[in-house]
Structure 1
Amino acid sequence: MIVFGRAGFSLCTLQHNMNRLYDSSRSIPYLMPKPPMDLTETPINSRKVFDGELLHVYQDQARLPDGKVKVREYITHPGAVVIIPLLDNGELVLERQHRYPLHRDFYELPAGKIDPGEDPLLCAQRELLEETGYTAASWRYLATLHPCIGYSDERLIYYFAQELSFQGANLDEGEHLEIFTLTLATALEWVKTGKITDNKSVSGLFWAEKVLREEW
C-alpha cells in the first residue's frame, strides 16, 4: 500500500471511493441524490425579439431552482425529419447542397422541416419525394434527437426508408440540390476524414450501420 502524508490516504482508498461512485452493474451512480434535485427553471415572462420566416428568437426571464432570476435566450423551430434511404443495391441516397451560413457545400441525408400540424412520417415521405424523387414502401422510425438543447427546441425525427422507387423530384422554390448514391462504408469513411460533418447526417449514418447490423 502506498501512503501519502499524515492523513494516511492510499491508492487503495482512492480506488475504493471511485468504485463507490459508480458500479458498472448498476445504471445509477451510488451517490446520486434520492429523490433527485428539482432543476426546473420557471418562465416569468417572455419577449419575442426576432420573428423570421423560419426562426423565432425569444428572450425570457426565468426563475432558477435557487430562486434567482436569469435571462434565457432561445430559438423556436418547427422540427424536422431526417431520412436514411437505402436502395436495393445497398447504397444510400444522399444530397449535396450549399449551406449559406457557412458558405460552403455539404453532403447530407435528405431532411426537411415539419409543417404546422403535419404528421412527421407524412413529412418524411413528402420530403423524400420532393428532394430526391424517390418513394419508399418500407418505413421505420428510429429515434428523435434534440441537436441544440442549449439554445433551441428543435427536434430531429429519424426514419429508415427501404424498397425505394424513383418517381422524379419536385424541389421547393429556392432549393438547389445534387442527388447521388454512396455505399455506407464510403459514407462512414467520409465522416472519418471530415468530408461529411453535418451532425444530423453523421448521426443518421451511424444509425444506418446499427440497423444493417441488426443492432437497433
Structure 2
Amino acid sequence: MGAQPIPAWAEGLTPTPPWQDLGHEVVHQTPWMKVTEHKAIAPTGRAANYGVLRFQNIATGVLPIHPDGTVTLVGQARFARANYSWEMPEGGAPFGEDPLDAVKRELAEEAGLAAASWKLALKIEVSNSITDEIGYTWIAWDLTPVPIDPDPTEIMTIVRVPFLSLLHEIERGAILDSFTVATAYRAYHMAREGLLPGWLAHAMLTRV
C-alpha cells in the first residue's frame, strides 16, 4: 500500500550500510509462517547467523466505533503466552488480497459487524528485529449487525466499552495486544486532531 516515506529529519543523512544476505534455508514452515536461517554480514562487517520469522499473511485489525462512543472488543484465549486477551477484531490477509477486504471479513466473523465507513489508522512493523510482518489497522464506523462466524478454533466473548475506558485499561496494563494498543492511541490522536467526523470524535472523547 505505497512505498515507505523517509522521515523529514532523515533527508540528506547518509544511511548506515545495509545487512548483506548470503543465502538462507527454511528450517520450519506452517500454513501461517516460516522460519528462515540466514548467513549474513552485519552493517559492521561482522559475519552473523540470523533467524527470521516470516509470516504468510499481512496482519490486519479494526477498531469499530459506535455512535455512542463505545467500541467493540473481543476476548479470547491465546496459546503462545497462555493468557486471555482483550483485543479489537484482528486477522490476516493472504498475499495478493486487499487487506481491507480481509479485515472486513474479520470484523464480520469475530464481532458480527459490517461498517460503511473506514479510515486507515496505521501501517506498522510488528517486531522488525526478528520478523518481516507488516500490519494495517483501520478505524470503522456506521456499523450494522451481521451474522457472526468465528474460526473453528476460536471462542469469542464480545463486549462494547466506552473508548475512554479502553484507554484506561491500556494504561492499567490490562490490555497488552500491540495492535489494539497502537490503534487506540492513534484513534485518540485522530479524534483530537479533527481526522474523524466531529460527532464521532465528540462521542469518543466524552463518554466514560
TM-score by length of 2: 0.84
Q: CA RMSD in A?
A: 1.8
- In structure 2, give the amino acid aligned to 1:212: A
Which aligned pairs between 1:115-194 and structure 2 lie closer than 5 A? 115-194=94-173
Once the two structures are TM-superposed, the CA of residue 53 in structure 1 deviates from its matched residue by: 2.8
Once the two structures are TM-superposed, the CA of residue 192 in structure 1 deviates from its matched residue by: 1.3
Please list every run of at least 4 consecutive aligned residues from structure 1 whose deviation after the TM superposition is greater than 4 angstroms: none
Cα separation, 2, equivalents of 1:186 and 1:93: 12
- Specify the alignment match of 1:91 in structure 2: 70
Query: In terms of Rg, which structure is larger?
Result: 1
Cα separation, 2, equivalents of 1:174 and 1:90: 31
210 and 41 in structure 1: CA distance in 2 versus 1, 3 angstrom threshold: same
Once the two structures are TM-superposed, the CA of residue 35 in structure 1 deviates from its matched residue by: 5.1
Q: Do the aligned partners of 2:137 and 2:179 also contact (CA within 8 Å) in 1? A: no
Q: Could you say what secondary structure the match of 1:72 adopts?
A: strand
Once the two structures are TM-superposed, the CA of residue 146 in structure 1 deviates from its matched residue by: 0.4
Task: After superposition, give the CA deviation of every residue in 1:16-63 in whole Å (9 maximum; x if it has no partner).
Answer: xxxxxxxxxxx649xx9x651442112111110111231200100112
Unaligned stretches of 5+ residues in structure 1: 1-26
Cα separation, 2, equivalents of 1:142 and 1:87: 17
- In structure 2, give the amino acid aligned to 1:106: S
- In structure 2, give the amino acid aligned to 1:209: Y
82 and 67 in structure 1: CA distance in 2 versus 1, 3 angstrom threshold: same
Once the two structures are TM-superposed, the CA of residue 64 in structure 1 deviates from its matched residue by: 2.8
Q: Do the aligned partners of 2:118 and 2:138 also contact (CA within 8 Å) in 1? A: yes
Once the two structures are TM-superposed, the CA of residue 89 in structure 1 deviates from its matched residue by: 1.5
Task: After superposition, give the CA deviation of every residue in 1:111-139 in whole Å (9 maximum; x if it has no partner).
Answer: 10112311011011111011111000001
134 and 198 in structure 1: CA distance in 2 versus 1, 3 angstrom threshold: same
Cα separation, 1, equivalents of 2:73 and 2:138: 14
Unaligned stretches of 5+ residues in structure 2: 1-7, 196-208
Cα separation, 2, equivalents of 1:120 and 1:53: 18
Paired positions, count: 187
Cα separation, 2, equivalents of 1:135 and 1:71: 46
- Specify the alignment match of 1:112 in structure 2: 91
- Specify the alignment match of 1:23 in structure 2: none
- In structure 1, give the amino acid aligned to 2:33: L
- Specify the alignment match of 1:51 in structure 2: 29
Q: 66-75 or 84-93, which moves further after superposition?
A: 66-75
Q: Do the aligned partners of 2:58 and 2:95 also contact (CA within 8 Å) in 1? A: no
Q: Could you say what secondary structure the match of 1:161 adopts?
A: strand
Q: Could you say what secondary structure the match of 1:79 adopts?
A: strand
Task: After superposition, give the CA deviation of every residue in 1:66-96 in whole Å (9 maximum; x if it has no partner).
Answer: 4432111110012211101001111001010
- In structure 2, give the amino acid aligned to 1:97: Q
- In structure 2, give the amino acid aligned to 1:118: E
67 and 215 in structure 1: CA distance in 2 versus 1, 3 angstrom threshold: same
Once the two structures are TM-superposed, the CA of residue 159 in structure 1 deviates from its matched residue by: 0.7
Q: Do the aligned partners of 2:65 and 2:71 also contact (CA within 8 Å) in 1? A: yes
Q: Do the aligned partners of 2:121 and 2:183 also contact (CA within 8 Å) in 1? A: no
Cα separation, 2, equivalents of 1:54 and 1:188: 31
188 and 49 in structure 1: CA distance in 2 versus 1, 3 angstrom threshold: same
- Specify the alignment match of 2:175 in structure 1: 196
- 1:214 equivalenced with 2:206 (yes/no): no
Q: Could you say what secondary structure the match of 1:97 adopts?
A: strand
Cα separation, 1, equivalents of 2:185 and 2:42: 37
